[in-house]
Structure 1
Amino acid sequence: MSAFTAAEPAAAATQNISLYRAIWRWHFFAGLLVIPFMLNLAITGSLYLFKDEIANTFYSHRYVVADSGPMLEPQQIAQAALAAFPGSTATSYHEASAVGRSAWVTVSKDGQSTIVYVNPHDGSILGSVDSKQEFGWVVKRIHSLEYFGEWTNRIIEIVAGFALVLVVTGIYLWWPRQQTGGVLTVRGTPSRRVFWRDLHAATGAIAGILIFFLAFSGMPWSGYWGANVNAWLTAHDLGTPAALWDDVPKSTKVTQDVVSRAGWVVENAPVPLSDIAAAQSAKPIGLNRAVEIMHGLGMVAGSDLAIPADETGVYTASHYFGDLGNERTVHIDQYSGKPLVDIPYEQYPALGKAIEWGINVHQGQEWGLFNQLLMLATCLAIILCCVTAVTMWWKRRPAGRLGVPPMPPQKSVYVGLWLIAIVFGAAFPLTGAAIVAMLLFDQLVVRFVPPLSRFFS
């Protein structure tokens, strides 16, 4: 009886050790794969949080003007931009957001889109930039790796999923187990590995919830998961209010095809058509009248207005920055001036509102400077976690080997990890597939190929 009783704690201890080692090994592999991408996300994310401040500092000649009297009409501003690029057509108009700010017009010629910055008081050209070279556009697409192609954007989706895994497994590894130090304190000096271990663990524990939030709130932008979730929400009336299009003809374009920035909930919503019959007998209202209508509907200063590309197109007024309460998209018939579809934030379903709120906080737009600084601190915590992870790995790795944490004594613990992988894969398919590949490589390749086993050990 005594031998049986003594065996139980020993078995439990072995089970605990096995689970700890399995999760540590999983945490290590996930970190090894994503650290370079996490560093990119954190650095470019930090820049994007302050894109407006950076633009106003380094490109002030484009954005800041002297208040020199009345402003020109929108059509005059657009004509000034078109005169600077003969043969082009205006595709969108962004009015001055405040006194002392420029207006800008996006023009298109031979398939190339250019943003032209105009002094709204005298029509002088302040500068221009290719739409795909504008600072915020470039930073955002490097952030998502969309700048380099669709397949690289899929990598970021996998990385975001792994970030969720790293936070959860990291909290498990950090969780106090009778130790007296290294929980929220840092022991030793930078010359010792324990210093970097404690700094890594404490940083992850303190910032873990915010890192998890950043990773999860970034998923809606992902090319596969985000697109499918958006489509599912729309199909089940949980995203874009589908009933708004019941009485209007729809084009094959979606909102993100015609505006530079659109809310996530409405970016794939169809763009309606102007009254085709009216095109035969009525004249377009023109840009000046369209801006008046936009103002009459209560669109805030600094909104964007997409200009119809053909006789069936519509004016699309949109506002997508700052206070969520001002987020709004309105499609206006170019002949009658009638608002065909008006989608303010208040009309989003609850789930759509929650996702938009998460995106707004993610981008540092919800609570002003506090929001920006909070997200910046999270980005810096990610950078610190990456640096400390690499440093403590370097200090513990055996010469000439990778130094992967040892396999658990009881391989049966992998059954539970496989179940977790299956559940996670159902929620985030691309990351789930990567986890399965990682587990298969670990269990079927590394384990049974001696040279690899020695290298990874």
Structure 2
Amino acid sequence: MKKNSKLNKWLWKWHFIAGLISLPFILILSITGIIYLFKSDYETPRQKHIKEVVITDSPISLQEQWKIANETAIKKPNSIVISKSLNHATEFVSGRFGGKSSLFINPYSGTVSGEIIAKQTDMHTVRKLHGELLMGKFGTKIIELIASWMIVLILTGLYVWWPERGWKLKGYFIPRTNLDRRTLYRDIHSISGFWISILLIMILMGGFPWTDVFGENFKTVQKLTNTGYPATWRGHQLKSNIAGTSLTLDQMVLKAKAIKLPGEVTVSFPKGPKGVFSVSNFNPSDLNTQQKIHFDQYSGEPILKLTWKDVGVLMRARMWFMAFHQGQFGILNWWLILLTAIALTIMSVSAILSYSLRKRKKNWGVPKVPSSFKVGYGIIVLLMLLSLVFPLFGISLLLILGIEYLRKKQSRKIS
């Protein structure tokens, strides 16, 4: 591919400016992302005394445990996680996502072994720093803006990196160690960026659904195209036929166990006398196995069974990328995310070091572009598309262009 030298300089300029502004935030994202990958390793030993119990006599009924949970939990539980081992405390869950809390009951003594409130955990703080800089909605929008510009950084970086005079192993795929330090740091930055570019785009795609603007727009598209979860997934519209006595929780859990769903299996409780029991499994390592089955709370008969095939294509894509983003597809996925985050940290630090060696006093060192350069229609169309997909990027681009226009107008007046 023969490169346009003027376009190359223009893209290098904006890559430089965007990188200079984004780098501190990118470092926060990569470092907090690395820490969060070790969530399970960090929390398991610290929560062991809550989640594990000593096996003694026969356990008390789940129905009795449910009663204890209702009387003890901060919020009334809406579901139970089916235990996989006899030495596990019974987990009753209230709320969802960041508002989730879990009450654990010793099934042998009936005592509460502890309660884990998501918002009060260390890893929740790390996640909030990663997703919103501990600044709420405003911080979320900053992260979304930085992530949008990261897409631009990757695309412009690949163009600038692309060899102009033929391919060479050193300088394009392997850093040159026999030249000056600035060249070494620049090579580390550009080459590591090349190697992780596709993975980084995939990781970013898995993060965007959590954002405010893009995330809400994506949900709107799902709703308009009917490509999200089916309306009956949560079962709010389904009704049980009131007849006799409701099943006990023990009876319902036996039915749920008989289905033999993989992953973490949850039984959601009926909401009122006409509500339904709902059995679902969380199995991100194999999304195709996820199911949701609604049962009549009196007869115990299944009312509706939904599988992953019933979920819309956009929601399936969204959940796939979100699971990939968190390294939930097994050990290979986990290592890919970890190594990409480490490479991103190295790439960011090497960029700062290269810049510090390049920068002169009283000069930001922004690359210059020939005054004769005119942006082509292809670039304009690409920027418009990116602005439509990532609105915060579009707004920031308009702001930058406005400042650039005023700066040029002012310099003409002075001259």
Give distance in 2, aligned partners of 1:312 and 1:223: 35
- Which string of whole-angstrom CA distances, capped at 9 and with x for unpartnered residues, describes residues 251-284 of structure 1? xxxxxxxxxxxxxxxxxx6642453773xx6544
1:133 to 120, 137, 158: 120
- Which string of whole-angstrom CA distances, capped at 9 and with x for unpartnered residues, describes residues 269-310 of structure 1? 6642453773xx654434333323333444346323333454
**Structure 2 partner of 1:261:** none
Q: How much does 1:88 deviate?
A: 5.4
Q: How much does 1:18 deviate?
A: 1.8
1:356 maps to 2:319: yes
Give distance in 2, aligned partners of 1:147 and 1:402: 30
8 Å contact from structure 1 (residues 274, 335) kept in 2: no
Give distance in 1, aligned partners of 2:388 and 2:9: 25
Distance 1:348 1:398, change over 3 A: same
1:275 to 239, 242, 250: 239
8 Å contact from structure 1 (residues 316, 330) kept in 2: yes
8 Å contact from structure 2 (residues 230, 310) kept in 1: yes
Q: How much does 1:404 deviate?
A: 1.8
- Which string of whole-angstrom CA distances, capped at 9 and with x for unpartnered residues, describes residues 124-164 of structure 1? 43322323223554443332218532232222222222221
**Structure 2 partner of 1:166:** 153
Distance 1:440 1:389, change over 3 A: farther
**Structure 2 partner of 1:233:** 222
Between 1:161-170 and 1:42-51, the stretch displaced more is 42-51
Give distance in 2, aligned partners of 1:83 and 1:189: 70
What percent of counterpart residues are identical?
26
Distance 1:401 1:96, change over 3 A: farther
SS at 2:280's partner residue?
A: strand
**Structure 2 partner of 1:254:** none
1:91 maps to 2:52: no
Distance 1:43 1:68, change over 3 A: farther
SS at 2:4's partner residue?
A: helix
Distance 1:97 1:183, change over 3 A: same
**Structure 2 partner of 1:185:** 174
2:397 to 435, 444, 449: 435
SS at 1:401's partner residue?
A: coil
Give distance in 2, aligned partners of 1:133 and 1:309: 28
2:29 to 34, 38, 41: 41
- Which string of whole-angstrom CA distances, capped at 9 and with x for unpartnered residues, describes residues 359-408 of structure 1? 22222111x21211111111111111211122212221221332222233
Q: Which amino acid in the other structure matches residue 444 of structure 1?
A: Y
Distance 1:135 1:77, change over 3 A: farther
8 Å contact from structure 2 (residues 281, 291) kept in 1: yes
Give distance in 1, aligned partners of 2:407 and 2:90: 60
Give distance in 2, aligned partners of 1:114 and 1:355: 25
1:447 maps to 2:411: no
Q: How much does 1:80 deviate?
A: 4.1
SS at 1:292's partner residue?
A: helix
Any stretches of 5+ residues in structure 1 without a counterpart? 1-12, 246-268
**Structure 2 partner of 1:323:** 286
Distance 1:282 1:199, change over 3 A: same
**Structure 2 partner of 1:156:** 143
2:388 to 408, 426, 434: 426
Distance 1:95 1:421, change over 3 A: same
8 Å contact from structure 2 (residues 39, 123) kept in 1: yes
Give distance in 1, aligned partners of 2:225 and 2:94: 37
Between 1:23-32 and 1:409-418, the stretch displaced more is 409-418
Q: How much does 1:201 deviate?
A: 0.7
Give distance in 1, aligned partners of 2:108 and 2:28: 41
8 Å contact from structure 1 (residues 22, 414) kept in 2: no
Aligned length: 405
Give distance in 2, aligned partners of 1:190 and 1:102: 61
| TM-score (norm. length: structure 1) | 0.77
Distance 1:406 1:73, change over 3 A: farther
SS at 1:411's partner residue?
A: coil
Give distance in 2, aligned partners of 1:72 and 1:364: 37
1:59 maps to 2:47: yes
Give distance in 2, aligned partners of 1:99 and 1:445: 70
Give distance in 2, aligned partners of 1:330 and 1:148: 38
Q: Which amino acid in the other structure matches residue 206 of structure 1?
A: W
Query: Any residues of structure 2 matched to 1:248-263 within 5 Å, and which?
Result: none
**Structure 2 partner of 1:257:** none
8 Å contact from structure 2 (residues 22, 146) kept in 1: yes
